[in-house]
Amino acid sequence: MPNITIAIDGFSSCGKSTLAKEIAEKLQYSYVDSGAMYRAVTLYLLNKGILKDGSFIKSQVLDALPNINISFEINPDKKRSETHLNGNNVEKEIRKLHVAQHVSAVSAIPEVRTKLVAMQQNFGQNGAVVMDGRDIGTVVFPRAEVKLFMTASKDIRAQRRYDELLAKGDKVNLDEIRQNLVKRDYIDMNRDVSPLKKAEDAIEIDNSELTREEQLDLALNIIQKAIDKSTIEA
């Protein structure tokens, strides 16, 4: 069976990572959460005081970039890949709301995107990879054999995010989360470098009314067709 590249793009909190992880597990592929990489950079800048009150000095961000190393390691207890920043597991911390509130601004910095796109392309250079984000099918892997674009209504996305954070014990406000999603959508779609958009050859999946099982089955059917095509052409 050929090793293909699967690119999953879409809006925040629309289930990209959940689907990508499930696909990777089914196919025994590597999984890379590109959004976690941008969150890790954001966390680093927050912890260093470079990003404060929603603002930063760009020259300080650029000076910090060489000091940021991001990797993914399997948690032996949870059997899943988790994000490490300079050797430290930051998987839980990067999911907090204060990081989410700043990540779109950080990800709009061209030099940050250049650094992380290069890392992402290196992770997936041998195929057999599932990667999710906002520019995977358009910039990182424009020749990916499978490109999916995930979407869902804003209210459903906000509720999902609210439930997720609440389950983790975070004190959150649904209206605040909804406002954050609207703001992130605008920034993601309107930034000058690698804006969020559906690749011309991507297949859109609106999962507003789909269960996780239905979503996975739909995606796997699309992927199987691409694998069959690659096998014939090989």
> Global pTM?
0.83
Is the pLDDT at 233 greater than 80, yes or no? no
Which residues touch 59 (CB under 8 Å, ≥6 apart)?
Answer: none
Is the pLDDT at 112 greater than 70, yes or no? yes
Q: Which of 164, 127, 171, 141 is nearest to 17 (CA)?
A: 164
Each residue's pLDDT tens digit, 153-176: 999 999 999 998 888 888 889 999
Is the pLDDT at 123 greater than 90, yes or no? no
Average pLDDT over residues 84-105: 92
Higher pLDDT, 123 or 112: 112
Query: Could you tell me how far CA 145 lies from the centroid of its own chain?
Result: 18
Each residue's pLDDT tens digit, 61-74: 999 999 999 998 88
User: Looking at residue 218, what is its pLDDT?
Assistant: 97
CB neighbourhood size of 69 (10 A): 12
User: Looking at residue 131, what is its pLDDT?
Assistant: 94
User: Looking at residue 7, what is its pLDDT?
Assistant: 97
Average pLDDT over residues 141-152: 96
Percent of the chain whose pLDDT exceeds 70: 99
Q: Is 71 exposed, middle or buried (0-12, 13-18, 19+ CB in 10 A)?
A: middle
Is the pLDDT at 180 greater than 80, yes or no? yes
User: Looking at residue 64, what is its pLDDT?
Assistant: 97
User: Looking at residue 234, what is its pLDDT?
Assistant: 60
Give the pLDDT band of residue 152 (cuts 50, 70, 90).
very high
How many residues appear in the chain?
234
Separation between Cα atoms, residue 203 and residue 219, nearest integer Å: 9
Higher pLDDT, 2 or 226: 226
Mean pLDDT of the chain: 92
- Domains of the chain with bracketed CATH: 5-233 (3.40.50.300)
